[in-house]
């Protein structure tokens, strides 16, 4: 019995060390000009055309920045597999606007009633950790073998539910849904 317990603890510790030893994604810098299509901002780099996941227009206005088509811009953020940049900061001319903290949490205020977020149906969760691994902002953690989403960190990207459009297809047992 002691050998089994020691073996179990050793495997558990290796798993914990693996999860916490994974490198955090580094922010990348992208520059180009802005395009506004279908209610979304895009960055045209000359080679790529990338959608920008940025703060609401009100946040820019509060910080005396205006987004305009064809405006040269530099953004720092995380590029997802779906060619969407999760923007942490942007620079227009001499002005830089920080939009997210180091954990990816938005710095603008969003009323809870207006904010959509995702929840895990604990009875369906199989504890596979795929959502934890694929969340771009670390909003998902495991508690008692079940995934839990921190609504304050969640950026409403939907990757946990629907996947990234490439290899990760979202929750394999449909345990994650958008809260209403």
Q: List, for residues 158-168, the tens digit of each pLDDT value.
A: 999 999 888 88
Instruction: Check pLDDT > 80 for residue 12.
Output: no
Distance CA 129, CA 127 (A): 6
- Over residues 78-109, the pLDDT tens digits come to 888 778 898 999 998 888 999 988 878 888 86
The architecture of the domain spanning 28-98 is Beta Barrel (2.40)
CATH of 118-178, one of 3.30.300.210, 1.10.10.10, 2.30.30.30, 3.30.70.20: 3.30.70.20
- Over residues 31-65, the pLDDT tens digits come to 999 998 877 889 999 888 899 988 888 788 788 88
Distance CA 21, CA 133 (A): 12
For tokens 């693996």, the residue is 18
Instruction: Check pLDDT > 60 for residue 128.
Output: yes
The dihedral through the CA atoms of 78, 79, 80, 86 has a sign that is positive
Q: Domain extents for the chain?
A: 28-98, 118-178
Q: Is 15 left (phi over 0), alpha (psi -120 to 50) or beta?
A: alpha
For residue 113, name the pLDDT band (cuts at 50, 70, 90).
very low
Q: Do domains 28-98 and 118-178 have the same CATH topology?
A: no
Distance CA 1, CA 34 (A): 64
């Amino acid at each position: 019995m002691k050998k089994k317990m020691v073996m179990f603890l050793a495997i558990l510790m290796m798993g914990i060390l693996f999860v916490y030893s994974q490198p955090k994604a580094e922010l990348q810098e992208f520059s180009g000009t802005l395009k506004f299509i279908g209610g979304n901002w895009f960055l045209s780099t000359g080679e790529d055309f990338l959608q920008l996941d940025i703060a609401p227009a009100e946040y820019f206005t509060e910080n005396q920045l205006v987004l305009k088509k064809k405006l040269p811009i530099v953004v720092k953020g995380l590029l997802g597999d779906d060619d969407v940049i999760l923007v942490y900061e942007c620079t227009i001319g001499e002005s830089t606007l920080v939009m997210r903290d180091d954990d990816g949490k938005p710095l603008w205020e969003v009323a809870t009633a207006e904010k959509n977020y995702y929840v895990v149906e604990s009875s369906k969760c199989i504890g596979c950790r795929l959502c934890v691994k694929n969340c771009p902002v670390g909003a998902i953690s495991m508690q008692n073998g079940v995934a839990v989403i921190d609504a304050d960190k969640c950026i409403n990207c939907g990757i946990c539910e629907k996947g990234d459009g490439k290899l990760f297809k979202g929750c394999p047992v449909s345990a994650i849904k958008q809260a209403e």
